Amino acid sequence: MPDRVTAIVPGTFDPVTVGHLDIIRRGACTFQTVVVGLIEKPTRKKTMFSIAERRAFLEEVLADLDNVTVASFNELVVDFARHWHATVILKGLRAISDFDYEFAMAQLNRKMAPEIETVFMMASPEHAFLSSSGVKEIVSFGGPVEDLVPAPVARRLSELYPRRP
């Protein structure tokens, strides 16, 4: 493997979870540079948080990692990777259902950019159940999410969805 490998970790991060952070932090230990690619306008789902909020959350919770940058994009993932001279797209996998979707995306990306590899990193067991959509559903019904998301996200969610007595 070349000495200097840049990996991108694309996603909506709406909201960022401790599972996302686990993959990003492990990626930061594996690759020279990690660019967290924040999708500005996802086509598959409507976001709860604005691009500015999602970016601020990520920048705050990743500030201790010198080799991690947060950047937003609204283009093909492979074009974003090329912009950053990345040779790796790093994706976290929780379950078989993730693999089905990510495998198809990896094949499409490889067709468009054979020079860019997709690397799958398995979720840590304690985060294998965790998803942003699950967090949103729990909080919308007044459930606790403090151990599922970083503190700044938990604070903002508690403002948007005050706990019921």
The H or E element containing residue 102 is helix 96-112
The H or E element containing residue 90 is strand 88-93
Backbone torsion region of residue 13, taken as left when φ is above 0, otherwise alpha when ψ lies between -120 and 50, otherwise beta? left
Q: Which residues are catalytic?
A: 20, 45, 94, 132
**Structure-token pair, residue 151:** 């503190």
The DSSP-derived string for 113-139 is -TTSEEEEEEPPGGGTT--HHHHHHHH
Asked if 26 contacts 36 with a C-beta cutoff of 8 angstroms, the reply is: no
Asked if 27 contacts 54 with a C-beta cutoff of 8 angstroms, the reply is: no
